[in-house]
Amino acid sequence: MKKILLGFAIIFSSLLLISFSLKTDPPKPYGPVPSERQIKHHKMEYYGFIHFGMNTFTGKQWGYGDDSPDTFNPKHLDCRQWAKVAKEAGMTGLILTAKHHDGFCLWPSKYTDYSVKNSKWKNGKGDVVKEFVEACKEYGLKAGIYLSPWDRHSAVYGTPEYITYYRNQLRELLTNYGDIFEVWFDGANGGTGYYGGKKKKIKIDNKTYYDWPNTWKIVRELQPGAVMFSDAGPDLRWVGNENGYADAINWCLLDTVGIYPGMPNHKFLSKGNEYGNKWIPAECDVSIRPGWFYDKKQNKKVKSVEHLLKIYYRSVGRNSCLILNVPPDETGKINKIDVDRLKEFKTALDKEFKTNLALNKNVSASSYRGDDSRFKASNITDGDYDSYWATDDSVKTGSLTIELGGETEVNRVVLQEYIKLGQRVDSFNIEALVNGNWELQAYGGTIGYKRILKFPTVKTLKIRINILKAKACPVINNIELYHAPDDAYYSKGLNMDHSYN
């Protein structure tokens, strides 16, 4: 009896050993991958920009740097209104221009007199940055800071002394105001300015003047969770235009050799560089008005909901995040026109993505990694960000078929790659089963963190996503299907992108 038991035990443990050694490993990361702080940032998707400062009161877009601090006097400054409006618009954070190119500081910096402390506002006792971060906290929004490297007021701009000044200010902002999610380093350097009365043109060398690596270190030291934006990263890149549009093919990668903030390689801003050496995704910055600062002359030019939707599909829908500028007016509040438009935009977005028709639906795949259920097809519809479908390393194409459980109307597909393991997919298409035939609906290039495709409504039983080309085995963690209420763009012959991109 003992012998039989021993025999069983041996057989059982060797079976265990075999199954353990056969266990499939998850795919190894491929190419550059995002940092934890970048992954958190990707998930923020849509947040706001607040351009507010001296220009709000002068009607200028780029102040010269010579306006009196008294000019700044918002009678009803209400950062809580900004945060409430942003939150209700579906934004996840806000970034404030603590100092724009005119050099006027919205916080009482101890390194300059050119700030709120010498304005009439609150008799010089106010601090916009403080009110801003507190309001963001109250409304559950992340707060970010824009600190213009170019300073048209400073008498020492262009000298090494200015770099010390700039870094001191950065330290103040990153020390005294709690958690900051993003620091925005603008690349603009227009030349002319007041410069303490010198009123001249100062040209700096973008390659060397700011000594960016040492400034970036300050951010890492004081706010390790913050991402940094510039024309050259290190965490986020400018998309290369101020229309809010990324390219339909958009890699999160960038080759950083020889590029600097203020001196980008324009060829790669909107589409990234497939062979880039660093993970530096694009951020689409755009204003709801033609200008970045409020100007009542532009009240009739607030972007339409259709325009904002187009921006959304070309930013968030193209593997980029969207930072939408909504500039408060001279009273210190976001103007009703912009508030109403943001509300309408949110309503429209909610209608676009109302019900995920793929959630928990049956999915089959052409194959899955090691026949191991950890990598099975249904991981893409389980609503869990961290479970994914993957193929064997040698398999770089594949199909996923989602059964809708009955004839269903579909016109939007959301796809996500599990970017922790890198960006892999190069091209894919989407088909629908119509009257027993697979009909092509849309074609896409890259996916990345998120890709959204639009196509005319199709009534179908099944949707099939075919990965046509990938740099390494595809790793897809989420696919959603929607039926947006109207296809106005298509019915009016206005389809926004040729290939339904």
Site for ligand FUL in 293-352 (CB under 6 A): none
Tokens of 122: 């609150």
**Site membership for ligand FUL, residue 292 (CB under 6 A):** yes
Judged by beta carbon, residue 282 or residue 481, the one nearer ligand FUL is 282
How many residues bind ligand FUL (CB under 6 A)? The answer is 4
The residue within the footprint of ligand FUL, chosen from 102, 172, 186, 329 (CB under 6 A), is 186
Tell me whether residue 132 or residue 500 sits nearer to ligand FUL (CB atom): 132
CB of 265 to ligand FUL, least distance (A): 17
Burial of 494 (0-12, 13-18, 19+ CB in 10 A): exposed
Least distance to ligand FUL, CB of residue 147, Å: 11
For residue 375, state whether it binds ligand FUL (rule: CB under 6 A). Answer: no
Q: What angle do CA 259, 260, 261 make, to 5 degrees?
A: 140
Pairing between β-strand 200-201 and β-strand 192-193 as defined by DSSP bridges = antiparallel
Q: Nearest distance from residue 294's CB to ligand FUL, in Å? A: 13
Query: Rounded CA gap, 328 and 138, in Å?
Result: 19
Q: Which long-range contacts (CB under 8 A, 24 or more apart) does 206-215 make?
A: 206/260, 206/261, 206/262, 206/263, 207/260, 207/263, 209/158, 209/163, 210/149, 210/163, 210/166, 210/261, 211/163, 212/185, 212/260, 212/261, 214/167, 215/163, 215/166, 215/167, 215/170, 215/185
Spatial separation of the C-alpha atoms in residues 299 and 438, rounded to whole Å: 48
CB 231 within 8 A of CB 261: yes
Give the CA radius of gyration of the chain.
26
Nearer to ligand FUL, 182 or 186 (CB): 186
The one-letter code for the residue type at 187 is G
Residue 262 CB, shortest distance to ligand FUL, in Å, is: 9
355: helix, coil or strand? Answer: coil
- φ, ψ of residue 215 to 5 degrees: the values are -75, -40
Give whichever of 65 and 444 is closer to ligand FUL, judged by the CB atom: 65
Q: Does 191 bind ligand FUL (CB under 6 A)?
A: no
One-letter amino acid for residue 374 of the chain: R
State the residue number with the nearest CB to ligand FUL: 188
Q: At closest approach, how far in Å is the CB of 363 from ligand FUL?
A: 42
Smaller CB separation from ligand FUL, 148 or 477: 148
480 binds ligand FUL (CB under 6 A): no
> What is the crossing angle of helices 336-352 and 79-88, to 10°?
20
Amino acid making up residue 410: V
Interface with ligand FUL, residue 231, by CB under 6 A: no
- The least CB distance from residue 20 to ligand FUL, in Å, is 54
User: Looking at the DSSP assignment, which residues form a beta bridge with residue 466?
Assistant: 399, 429
Cβ nearer to ligand FUL, comparing 226 with 484: 226
**What's the rounded Cα separation, in Å, for the pair 479 and 481?**
7
Beta carbon of residue 465, minimum distance to ligand FUL (angstroms, whole number): 36
Q: How far is the CB of 75 from ligand FUL (least distance, A)?
A: 24
User: Of the two residues 131 and 285, which places its CB atom closer to ligand FUL in the complex?
Assistant: 285
Q: Is 17 in the site for ligand FUL (CB under 6 A)?
A: no
* Closest to ligand FUL by CB, 37 or 51: 51
- Of residues 93 and 422, the one with the C-beta less far from ligand FUL: 93
Rounded distance, CA 181 to CA 142, Å? 6
Identify which of residues 115 and 189 has a Cβ nearer to ligand FUL in the complex: 189
> Which residues are bridge partners to 432 per DSSP?
439, 463
| Residue 100: CB minimum distance to ligand FUL, A | 6
Asked if the peptide bond before residue 234 counts as cis, ω within 30 degrees of 0, the response is yes
Cβ at position 300, least distance to ligand FUL in Å = 21
By CB under 6 A, residue 188 contacts ligand FUL: yes
**286 versus 413: smaller Cβ distance to ligand FUL:** 286
- Considering only residues 82 to 101 of the shown chain, the ones binding ligand FUL according to CB under 6 A are none
Strands 398-417 and 451-470, by their bridges, are antiparallel
Kindly give, in sequence order, each residue whose CB lies less than 8 Å from that of residue 259, ignoring residues fewer than 6 positions away. 231, 232, 265
Closest separation in Å from C-beta 425 to ligand FUL? 31
- Name the helix (H) or strand (E) containing 93: strand 93-99
Q: Which of 285, 338, 352, 431 binds ligand FUL (CB under 6 A)?
A: 285
Asked if 127 is part of the footprint of ligand FUL (rule: CB under 6 A), the reply reads no
Minimum CB distance to ligand FUL, residue 285 (Å): 5
Q: Closer to ligand FUL by CB, 172 or 285: give it.
A: 285
Does residue number 247 form part of the binding site for ligand FUL (CB under 6 A)?
no
Give the helix ranges, DSSP H, for 177-246: 212-222
Interface with ligand FUL (CB under 6 A):
186, 188, 285, 292
